[in-house]
Amino acid sequence: MGLVDHNFNLPFNIIRCSHVECGVTDLDASRKFYVDILGLIETERTKDTIYLRGLEEKNHHCYILKQHDKAEVFALGFKVAFDKDLDALEQHFKQLNLPAQWVNKHAEERTLAVRTPMGIPVEFHAKQTRVPTMMRAYSKYKGLAPLRFDHINCFTPNCQSTYEFFVSQLGFRLTEYTLTDRGDMWAAWTHRKGNVHDMALTNGKGPRLHHTGIWTASINNIIHLLDVMASEGYVENIERGPGRHGISNAFFLYILDPDGHRIEPFTCDYLTVDPDWEPLAWDLKDPRRQTLWGAPAPKSWFEHGTPFHGTKVRESDIVSQPIIAGYEDVA
Amino acid sequence: MGLVDHNFNLPFNIIRCSHVECGVTDLDASRKFYVDILGLIETERTKDTIYLRGLEEKNHHCYILKQHDKAEVFALGFKVAFDKDLDALEQHFKQLNLPAQWVNKHAEERTLAVRTPMGIPVEFHAKQTRVPTMMRAYSKYKGLAPLRFDHINCFTPNCQSTYEFFVSQLGFRLTEYTLTDRGDMWAAWTHRKGNVHDMALTNGKGPRLHHTGIWTASINNIIHLLDVMASEGYVENIERGPGRHGISNAFFLYILDPDGHRIEPFTCDYLTVDPDWEPLAWDLKDPRRQTLWGAPAPKSWFEHGTPFHGTKVRESDIVSQPIIAGYEDVA
Amino acid sequence: MGLVDHNFNLPFNIIRCSHVECGVTDLDASRKFYVDILGLIETERTKDTIYLRGLEEKNHHCYILKQHDKAEVFALGFKVAFDKDLDALEQHFKQLNLPAQWVNKHAEERTLAVRTPMGIPVEFHAKQTRVPTMMRAYSKYKGLAPLRFDHINCFTPNCQSTYEFFVSQLGFRLTEYTLTDRGDMWAAWTHRKGNVHDMALTNGKGPRLHHTGIWTASINNIIHLLDVMASEGYVENIERGPGRHGISNAFFLYILDPDGHRIEPFTCDYLTVDPDWEPLAWDLKDPRRQTLWGAPAPKSWFEHGTPFHGTKVRESDIVSQPIIAGYEDVA
Amino acid sequence: MGLVDHNFNLPFNIIRCSHVECGVTDLDASRKFYVDILGLIETERTKDTIYLRGLEEKNHHCYILKQHDKAEVFALGFKVAFDKDLDALEQHFKQLNLPAQWVNKHAEERTLAVRTPMGIPVEFHAKQTRVPTMMRAYSKYKGLAPLRFDHINCFTPNCQSTYEFFVSQLGFRLTEYTLTDRGDMWAAWTHRKGNVHDMALTNGKGPRLHHTGIWTASINNIIHLLDVMASEGYVENIERGPGRHGISNAFFLYILDPDGHRIEPFTCDYLTVDPDWEPLAWDLKDPRRQTLWGAPAPKSWFEHGTPFHGTKVRESDIVSQPIIAGYEDVA
């Protein structure tokens, strides 16, 4: 099976991944982590929810942290070009016999909540409340100096079928990938906005959120975040890195929020707006794919993820795959 | 007049600015500057032409340097999504009674050469010969470690009308701008690919090329380029910077190639893929627009540009504008 | 005259320049600048004085800001190895018929106040009150993230004689210099601690303080300080740079505090502990000496300095020197 | 036992560690690693020896690579202030009944070869042949852009006694350390030149060289070296890092040359010229001492070292020490 053709003819236009809504068990502890340490801007706080955005962002939120009884993800958010794209998406999901319903979300005009065939909860919107960018308020930069939400990475028990859905049915385009020996997709990086990924998929117990990625302007900001985390009592929340991914060329770090939601502060990827950009295939046996410099990722990194609220998690369909291979492919 | 509506309904899709073709008077001197000092990759050299690309680029060229008797620009190159977009553009330009003809360009499948109403020579293509990316060949990084071609900036004698053409007729979207006291566009930054600009326009004697911009991953690369230029005898080719633009948030440098073609190595701008991204207006009297840190640009920077081959240059239509204001608005 | 021999046989050991005591006209405005913007640590504040230190420093102060009716410098501070060195210095200055008296300084055990032949007020101490280093308190890093006080630079009306005094009578060692056409010292960089300078001298109206230098770990910190200053209303306090000095190899910036005391945040010099390190001579006509990249310094930078309290200022003795040459040699 | 007093009254002045002489089994492979990858300057090559220096260095060599049948270290080199210090050292070692003899070394005027009580071969010199600095030849910067040799780190089977020798008999000063539960020195960082260390000692099978440290100006240079090593086939030579040491505050990387000689490219430590600088004690149980960010070092890093030519290696005298503690203390 492997690769499928890109679909440039869909009647809607998904612009980019925009945000994620996470259930957290201690809102104050989360605020300390996301705002004081990481450096995100708090746009608004209600009784049970905090809305955050990156320094350059002019939309209301890229993280919604909601008081909850356990660490779960409520929805992955994507922005479409125009209001009419929401209606086209509703029709599209209904034709596919997939759940699609209008929901009320704070600070979004209209929101369409759907489920992918694998059960991943996705919410589409065209407009969030506009708020001021803090990009030029340099004295507010701290921690990571996080500029913008960049991507989402999910575990899926069948990477091939989830990949096909995002590419064929939603118009995502493949940038890098690895195949199993049988020729199935083992991991895939797909995008809408023109860089390496909006949505990455990796084979594994799922569906679960593996991590969200946040863009910062420089390697030095990531090093400073590490120093700050170490000096403020967050050494245990540093999971992997810093390092360079062969895949995506990103300089990366992986950290865990107080509930175990994984975040990847990163910088340095590349432009993929060309429709004739050829996806880059990686050999499962090339360790530089994961970490260019060779350092192995910890076991937790291949096993830990955050479940989606109301979504059953199952084992990977690729049972014959040696588990060690699985240890080499999420990025 | 000022702002006009964005046009999302054109029957073609320009993906991004892709390259520029420059006439240079000494090919070896130019090669030394672009390859040995700046660090661009030489894709191919023919008897009278050198084709260059950035480290991450997989297309054949982003700079064409052609032996010529004087410093002129032959064409600005733009990439469209698909081959059919070229036909749609041909029809579009003919309907507008603007020149449009098919030309043979090395390493491009089909190329449509047009002129804007102001006389700027533009060439559209859908496919260049694909070549390997050097992004992961880190030992080849030198000078600036230039990753990709980013944008084009032109002087135009009537910024308002040129801006209107690019936005209304070609689908470019405005990100930042300044207006004159009369409410006309004084300078405009417009894009297709989702960052601050593919095509920037500034009022002045023209049409002429002001500069081309090259993206690099870090501020440190720009500092290293400065050190290399100084130690290799290119101090006179450093024109302005380094500095931070208020406009675009870019960390910039302006340098001149041996023929005076201006280049802006830069890093750090922001994402503009949202159709509802609101353009940022700057006050002509705010010096931070130009250089956030306040340092003035040299006079040459407001006066010097490279003419287009076969295109007459005329004075700016805004004669009443105090010249000093003109000195504060190109970026 | 020009160079004199280094003196390795003095009966005392000056370790390094340690601090400067400045008169400021608005203590709160100064505190905002030095602590909130620049990022120095406030060790202590009394009714009319603020004591500051760098992030890595374990001594009580490197800047003393004292409420005063005008911008003046009260003293340049140097640290000696041991208490006995203070007594040796007292004897040395008395033998030279130079003023030397014991004074009480807050947070110093014993302090010897002297005057150089040119009238520069210098204070020696062996021990300041020890305070905790903040080097590992990374979440307190802001602005420049200033690590330590590095050097002092003074205008002197006779650079040759002042240079001779510091080298022959105090044991400073020359690292870089320029001579006039007559063979006199035009500017000199001398050190005790093993890097490029503790005490730099430049010919000009004086004696006056030209600037104090503060070390930070990276170029990125200096760029961030510039962004912070620009966004917090301190554009006017940015005087020159950023740039690279040919002399010293430092990546530099020059800023002015609210009273006009000049500060040089910088990074990157080199090790000079070898007694056989040969001083580097610069040609007065080489512009890279000042700014490797060629950008001229503003006129203020050659003319503005802060007078010493109670010290008469006179014109430079080198009257025949073309003034433009003077414009090329302070660094 | 633990700490002993610093000795400021020795009749000689060791300025700094200066170089190391290593036996390598394939001179061409070593040259490729040290010159092409790491970026050191080749000062001279004879039939069986390569002499290297850092970019800022004006002395003939900081690494001597000598063709040999196995990976061994011939000598650790230290520079003294003046020629007379060599004679004082000869007398001092003879009084201590330790080996001391004059040897002929290429590019050094006089060289005194001694052995410490533990058998470490040390060579003192006052003058090497002076060669040009390449600090301002920025176009020659590549790989790490290594500026200067910084320090030496050795395994010793009895850290307390080796520490005492370097401090009491050679005048080194302690900057940071850890003690065993019995109060003995477990690891010690000592200096002469005024930064964190010239000579670090760690308990373990020895004496053996643990690593030599090379200073570079920025974190970005270390990241670039990693990228270059990965793309040029040296992934296996990357042993540990990048990371931040709690001890010394250094941003570090550990790599192995083709024969297994370990090198630490690093940047960011602090100034220690003050005689009253109080050594910093670390708790053996604080993991941040080793890696501020918590990542464990690989086992090889605690076990692998290079033996000294003609010197017997023995197990650590601290047999009661749990081996895991040993795993936490070299840095």
In terms of pLDDT, which residue wins out, D287 or B44?
B44
As a whole number, mean pLDDT of residues A195-213 equals 97
Tell which of A128, A158, A173 closes a domain.
Answer: A128
Look at A196-210, C150-164, C277-291, D139-153 and tell me which has the smallest mean pLDDT.
C277-291
Q: Which residues pair with C21 in a beta bridge?
A: C64, C75
A231 min Cα distance to partner chain C (Å): 6
Contact D231 B138 (CB under 8 A): yes
Q: Residue A329 pLDDT more than 50?
A: no
Task: Answer yes or no: are the C-beta atoms of C146 and C121 closer than 8 Å.
Answer: no
The separation between CA C123 and the C-alpha centre of its own chain, rounded to angstroms, equals 14
User: What is the pLDDT at residue A33?
Assistant: 98
Tokens of A31: 């605020």
pLDDT at A331: 41
Asked if D231 is an interface residue toward chain B (Cβ–Cβ < 8 A), one would say yes
Q: Which backbone phi and psi does B81 adopt, to 5 degrees?
A: -65, -50
pLDDT at residue B96, as a whole number: 98
Amino acid letter for position C243: G
The DSSP annotation for B193-242 comes to SSSS-SEEEEESSBSEEEEEEEE-S-HHHHHHHHHHHHHTT-GGGEEEEE
A233 touching chain C per CB within 8 A: no
CB contact under 8 A, C235 and B294: yes
Range of the domain at D240: 144-326
pLDDT at A328 over 60: no
**Is position D219 within any domain?**
yes
Contact of C307 with C313, CB cutoff 8 Å: yes
A174-188, C12-26, D10-24: least confidently modelled range: A174-188
Residue A181 predicted with pLDDT over 90: no
Which pLDDT tens digit goes with each residue over B315-324?
998 754 444 4
ipTM, 2 dp: 0.95
pLDDT at residue C330 tops 50: no
Residue B7 lies in a domain: no
What SS3 class is residue B122? strand
Residues of B in contact with C246 (CB under 8 A): 230
* Helices A219-231, D219-231: crossing angle, 10 deg rounding: 110
Q: Report the pLDDT averaged over residues A259-286.
A: 93
pLDDT in tens, D69-80: 999 999 999 999
Q: Are residues D299 and D157 in the same domain?
A: yes
Q: List the structure tokens of B298.
A: 């040299």
- Using CB atoms, pick whichever of A127, A135, A273 lies closest to residue B16: A273
Check C227 against B244: CB less than 8 A apart: yes
| Chain B contact present for C295, CB below 8 A | yes
CB-nearest to C274 from D15, D147, D271 is: D15
Same domain, B182 and B123: no
**Of A41, A73, A108, A283, residue with least CA distance to A178:** A283
Contact A267, A221 (CB under 8 A): yes
Partnered with residue A30 across adjacent β-strands are none
pTM value surpassing 0.90? yes
By the CB < 8 Å criterion, does D293 face chain C? no
Angstroms from A39 CA to nearest CA on chain D: 18
CA-wise closest residue to A85 among A110, A51, A120 = A110
pLDDT tier, C183 (very low <50, low <70, confident <90, very high otherwise)? confident
- For the record, the structure tokens of B292 come out as 């956030």
A134 within some domain: no
**Closest CA–CA distance from residue D292 to any residue of chain B (Å):** 25
Is B227 an 8 Å CB contact of chain D?
Answer: yes
Q: Which residues does chain A have within 8 Å of residue D227's beta carbon, measured at their own beta carbons?
A: 244, 292-293
Quick check: D297 and D290 in contact, CB under 8 A? yes
Is the Cβ of B131 closer than 8 Å to some Cβ of chain A?
Answer: no
Residue D222's alpha-carbon distances to D82, D250, D251, in angstroms, are 35, 12, 9
Residues A274 and A194: their CA atoms lie apart, in Å, by 8
Question: Given CB atoms, is B81 within the 8 Å cutoff of chain C?
Answer: no
Q: How far is D75 from D21, CA to CA, in rounded Å?
A: 5
* DSSP H/E element including A146: none
Shortest CA distance to B221 belongs to which of D266, A150, D227? D227
Per-residue pLDDT of A134-144, as tens digits, reads: 999 999 999 99
Domain shared by C200 and C315, yes or no: yes
* DSSP element (H, E) containing A270: none
How close, in Å, is residue C68 to chain D by CA atoms? 31
Select from B144, B292, B291, B153 the least CA-distant residue to B217.
B144
Q: What pLDDT shows up at residue A201? A: 97
- Residue A237 confidence (pLDDT): 98
A321 shares its domain with A184: yes
- Dump pLDDT digits (tens) for A106-121: 999 999 999 999 999 9
Cα–Cα dist B176/B189, whole Å: 5
The answer to whether the CB atoms of D218 and B218 lie below 8 A apart is no
Same domain, D203 and D74: no
Chain C touched by A217 (CB under 8 Å): no
> How is residue A218 written in tokens?
């420089």
C152 and C66 inside one domain: no
Tell me the nearest-neighbour CA distance from A70 into chain B, angstroms: 33
Last residue of a domain, one of B132, B162, B194: B132
Q: Considering the domain boundaries, does residue C136 fall inside one? A: no
Question: How many angstroms away from the CA of A136 is the closest CA of chain C?
Answer: 7
> Percentage of chain C with pLDDT > 90?
88
Q: Which of D88, D105, D131 is the last residue of a domain?
A: D131
Half-sphere exposure of A135 (CA within 13 A, CB side): 25
Q: Which of C140, C222, C224 to mutate to test the interface with A (most CBs of A within 10 A)?
A: C224
Residues of chain B found within 8 Å of residue D227, distances taken between Cβ atoms? 138, 141
In this complex, do D81 and C193 lie within 8 Å of one another by their Cβ atoms? no
Residue of D nearest to B223 (CA): D138
Q: Flag whether residue C147 sits within 8 Å of chain D, measured between CB atoms.
A: yes
pLDDT value for D89: 98
pLDDT of amino acid B319: 58
Q: How many independent structural domains does chain D possess? A: 2
Whole-angstrom distance, CA of residue C119 vs CA of residue B249: 47
Residue B5 included in any domain: no
Segment A324-330 shows an average pLDDT of 42
Residue pLDDT, tens place only, B161-176: 999 999 999 999 999 9
Peptide bond preceding A307 in cis form (omega within 30 of 0): no
CA triple D266-D62-C189, angle to 5 deg: 75
Query: Would you call D230 an interface residue with chain A, using a CB distance cutoff of 8 Å?
Result: yes
Evaluated on CA atoms A320, A322, A326, A328, the torsion sign reads negative
Of C136, C218, C232, nearest to A231 by CB-CB distance is C136
Across the interface, which of B139, B220, B231 has its CB nearest the CB of D228? B139
- Assess if residue A1 is contained within a domain: no
Do B206 and B158 fall into the same domain?
Answer: yes
Residue D238 to residue A288, Cβ atoms within 8 A: no
Indicate if D242 and D193 belong to the same structural domain. yes
- Whether C130 sits inside 8 A of D267 (CB atoms) is no
List the 243-282 stretch of B: residues with Cβ below 8 A of C: 244, 246, 251
Residue B21 included in any domain: yes
pLDDT band, residue C287 (cuts 50/70/90): confident
In this prediction, the residues of chain D whose per-residue pLDDT falls under 70 are: 319-331
Q: Is A129 on the interface with B (CB under 8 A)?
A: no
D47 with D113, same domain: the answer is yes
Rounded (10°) angle between helices C219-231 and B219-231 = 110
In this structure, are B20 and B105 located in the same domain?
A: yes
Contact A81, A13 (CB under 8 A): yes
Whether chain D has a CB inside 8 Å of the CB on C327: the answer is no
Same domain for C180 and C286, yes or no, is: yes
The maximal CA–CA distance of chain B, rounded, in angstroms, is 53
CB C2 within 8 A of CB C179: yes
Name chain A contacts of B219, Cβ cutoff 8 Å.
218
How far is Cα B29 from Cα D198, in angstroms, rounded to an integer? 46
Mean pLDDT lowest among A152-166, B100-114, C212-226, D173-187: D173-187
Q: What is the mean pLDDT of chain A?
A: 94
Q: Which of A81, A127, A271 sits opposite B148 (nearest CB)?
A: A271
Identify the CATH number of the domain in which residue B117 sits.
3.10.180.10
**Same structural domain, B309 and B205:** yes
Is there a domain that residue D63 lies in? yes
Average pLDDT in chain B: 94
